[in-house]
Amino acid sequence: MRAMVLEKAGEALRSVERPDPTPEPHQLLIEVCACAVCRTDLHVVDGDLTHPKLPLVPGHEIVGRVLEVGRGVQGDFEVGQRVGVPWLGFTCGVCSYCRSGQENLCDAARFTGYQIDGGFATHTVADARYCFAIPDRYDDVHAAPLLCAGLIGYRALKAAGEARSIGIYGFGAAAHIVAQICHHQGRTTYAFTRDGDTAAQDFARQLGCTWAGSSLEAPPVPLDAGLVFAPIGELVPQGLRALRKGGTLVLGGIHMSTIPAMPYEILWGERVVRSIANLTRQDGAEFMALAAQVPLEIHCERFALDEANAALDRLRSGQLTGAAVLIPS
């Protein structure tokens, strides 16, 4: 197999030849067809997320085909079947979080492309208990961003409850999917981008957002909720200022720059700030069922596997429209 490997945080990935992995009990051996690039991959490569397994194959939005089924794999995974591998790669199953529907918070959880080798490769292995079937309506490339951008967007939206008007901060891969789900559900969306990023604002309007502007601007009406996908702490006070009383600001990223001090009055009025972390398998099942119904228009920029560093650079500099997807062959 060939893989793009992180040897040390802060360095470029290196293309490496390795022997093909063998599936352990509960694992599938998977031929990778496409792997999307997530902002979390960037945080791992840049060292914002500490203590990754090293050397590491990043990538946790994997679409592949089953080549071999390990011992003890239950369910309907068969050789040749298409399968999706997400960020959540293992949970203990016995802690209080795991037993109360919050396996996303399990202290012993392990994550694909962080503690487990991921999908920036031609082949990978994954624990079948954490893999998903993928709706047929999406081809491999367009299905890949569903595995994290779509899923995390969905979990963030669930945290916003019944909100009808929703601000979305950072109009990248997650935002462009969650906006379409919002519109399908009859909610209105307001897209906030970097000041002057008219390309992202045009993209948001094209996808049906009611309003698009700079995150420094106030929306035309106070909003029921805000979803923050950009890793920028300044967006927390800005997002709170855009909320009506009782509104909720949901932070969807795994890493964020320091949140600046802010006056209590922008939080007062029962406004809520909360984060979301990781995903549960229940989120995956719900979101894939939704994605099977709603014809999501997934915008992708394709890169060869060897171009993983270029894809990360484009994401880092905010030059992507939609999601970057690596294609091994």
Asked if residues 37 and 13 have their Cβ atoms less than 8 Å apart, the reply is no
The answer to whether 156 contacts Zn ion (rule: CB under 5 A) is no
Piece of the chain touching Zn ion by CB under 5 A; list 64-72, 88-96, 124-132, 170-178: 88-96
State which residue, 242 or 276, has the beta carbon closest to Zn ion: 276
Burial of 301 (0-12, 13-18, 19+ CB in 10 A): middle
Q: How far is the CB of 254 from Zn ion (least distance, A)?
A: 8
Range 209-268, binding Zn ion (CB under 5 A): none
Q: Which of 27, 40, 104, 278 binds Zn ion (CB under 5 A)?
A: 40
User: Does 105 sit near Zn ion (CB under 5 A)?
Assistant: no
Residue closer to Zn ion, measured from CB, 149 or 204: 149
Among 69, 92, 273, 294, binds Zn ion (CB under 5 A): 92
When the beta carbons of 212 and 312 are compared against Zn ion, the nearer one is: 312
Tell me the H-state helices in 193-326: 198-206, 235-241, 281-293, 308-316
Q: Is 148 in the site for Zn ion (CB under 5 A)?
A: yes
Residues 5-34 that bind Zn ion (CB under 5 A): none
Percent helix, strand and coil across the chain, each to the nearest 5: 30, 30, 45
Alpha-helical (H) ranges within 211-321 are 235-241, 281-293, 308-316
Closer residue to Zn ion, CB minimum distance, 95 or 327? 95
Cα–Cα distance for residue pair 80/154, rounded to 1 Å: 28
Backbone angles phi, psi at 109, to 5 degrees: -60, 150
Does position 300 interact with Zn ion (CB under 5 A)? The reply is no
Q: Say if CB 327 and CB 303 are below 8 A apart.
A: yes
Q: Determine, following the binding rule CB under 5 A, whether residue 106 of this chain makes contact with Zn ion.
A: yes
Q: Of all helices (H) and strands (E), which one includes residue 324? A: strand 323-327
Please report, as ranges, the residues that interact with Zn ion according to CB under 5 A. Answer: 38, 40, 91-92, 95, 98, 106, 148
